[in-house]
Amino acid sequence: MQLKKLNITAALAAASCALIAGQSHAETAKKDALIEGWEFNSAFLYYKETDRVQAAEAILAARGDFGDDKFLNLNLVVDTLTGASATGAVAQPNAQSFTRPSGEGSYTTAAGETPLDDTFHDTRVQLDASWEQPIAQNLRATGGGHFSKEYDYLSLGVNGSLAWDLNNKNTTLSVGTALSQDTITPEGGIPSAFTPMLFKNNFGSESAYEQAFDQSRADDSDSKTTTELLFGATQVISKDWLMQFNYSWSQADGYMSDPFKVVSVVNAQGITQQNLYEQRPEERNKQSVYWQNKVHMAGTYLDLSYRYMWDDWSVKSHTVDTRWRFPVSNNWYIEPHVRFYQQSAADFYKPFLMQGQALPEFASADYRIGEMDAQTYGVKVGTVLDGGHDLGVRLEYYQQNPTNPGVELPGALANVELFPSVKAIMLQVSYSF
């Protein structure tokens, strides 16, 4: 008997590979578990901005395997935030006094300094839970809930998604939705739109001030609802290349102003006349596209992604994020991280308002919705310990550079720093068990 095609090695190699690699032993190769069937990831993060906010955060994530591809995911985050945050008021050639958001007490900002409210102190607890399981062949469903509480903020949400594997699991299509309801109950209440910051000294009596302050407050609390839709496609391009593409759409309705932020009204000489509480639209429609590549090449792992986000506030942003993992020695790896971010300003972003001009419908001087770019440079060093536990340390430097979106600076404002950079360092230690 003579074979028609004598050399069958290549075809046989492919078939053998598929046979042996087809059913992986991943389930038997698991690390030593603390609780049978559960995997835990923990992390501690410290974040510090120069002269501004510092935060400490602890994360504990658990994933329980209930067999038959059913999993329960739990995620707990506790963080504390302290420090100072920009109020939106402009720096001035002279010292400035501000009333605290609660209406009780005041603070002073030195000449030439960006006004910061240093009363931030908050603790946040966030809990997410989700259940995932197959509901038909090649179809997985996930349903979950979200709870987050801090002193003056409560967020509740539900979410669900479906993932459909096809093309021998080389392609996964997914669709997801999330609904959330956020309620803010700031100390001192919600300021009415464009009401001026009041000063006790300008009033004849304590009760006159209190009456005026109460009148400037619309409500004790306010809320917003957000609906999100997510469509995703994941494609195996080759055995060393995975690509993901996501599109997301979200619609938020309700209170989206920041009750602690003001906009300065300046005269032609650039001198602040008063500070008005900001006002943002009560609707925001946001969309984004996200493209991610995970590539294995020459023993290294590259994760490269790009996101483009745009909304009906005219904010557009581009994010490029790269993490590249290089194995060094047996169990160690080093992973540099570089991220570039660039954003255009919301159409109602105003670093300040001019005296004598009609008030716009909306205005905010919050630099976070202004024009800016940002960079992150970091490195992570990780190792796999006995028993398969991962230990990693990540150190990052982050810099935000707000820029002038093309506003002419009158008088004194030309000589002060209106768009100061924010610099931060971040240290994270993570451990899986």
Partner 1 sequence: MTQSTAAQPTPPTTPLQLSATAYGWLGQFRAMASPCEILLGPCDELMARQLCAAAAAEAWRIEAKFSRYRQSSTLSQLNQHTGQWQKLDSETLSLLQFSKQCFELSDGMFDISSGILRKVWKFDGSDNLPSDDAVAALLPFIGFDRVELTADSAFIPAGMELDLGGIAKEYAVDKVGQLLLELSASVEPSLSLVVNFGGDMLAVRPKPNDDPWRIGIEHPGKPDQSAMLVALCAGALATSGDARRFLYKDGVRYSHILNPKTGWPVQDAPRSVTVSAPSCVMAGLLATTALLQGQQAKEFLQAQELKHWVID
Residues near partner 1 (CB under 8 A) are 1-9, 11-13, 15-26, 28-29, 31, 330-331, 384, 386-388
- Ramachandran angles phi, psi of 225, nearest 5°: -120, 145
Least CB distance from residue 276 to partner 1, whole Å? Answer: 60
Least CB distance from residue 163 to partner 1, whole Å? Answer: 19
Closest CA to 293 of 304, 279, 284: 304
Least CB distance from residue 241 to partner 1, whole Å? Answer: 22
Length of the chain: 433
Pick 301 or 340: Cβ nearer partner 1: 301
Task: Report how far apart, in Å, the C-alpha atoms of 348 and of each of 251, 278, 404 are.
Answer: 18, 10, 14
Pick 37 or 388: Cβ nearer partner 1: 388
The token duo for 40 is 């835990």
Task: Annotate 47-72 with b (16+ C-beta within 10 A) or e (fewer).
Answer: bbbeebbbbebebebbbbbeeeeebb
Closest CA to 365 of 302, 294, 418, 315: 418
Chain-centroid distance of CA 169 in Å reads 31
Pick 29 or 298: Cβ nearer partner 1: 29
Pick 2 or 357: Cβ nearer partner 1: 2
Pick 5 or 357: Cβ nearer partner 1: 5
Query: Measured between alpha carbons, how far is 427 from 286 in angstroms, rounded to an integer?
Result: 31
Least CB distance from residue 289 to partner 1, whole Å? Answer: 33
Least CB distance from residue 234 to partner 1, whole Å? Answer: 21
Closest CA to 276 of 353, 199, 389: 353
The H or E element spanning position 321 is strand 316-328
Least CB distance from residue 125 to partner 1, whole Å? Answer: 34
Least CB distance from residue 336 to partner 1, whole Å? Answer: 23
> Under DSSP, is residue 165 helix (H, G, I), strand (E, B) or coil?
strand
Query: Measured between alpha carbons, how far is 130 from 302 in angstroms, rounded to an integer?
Result: 29
Query: Measured between alpha carbons, how far is 107 from 186 in angstroms, rounded to an integer?
Result: 19
Pick 41 or 273: Cβ nearer partner 1: 41
Pick 11 or 233: Cβ nearer partner 1: 11
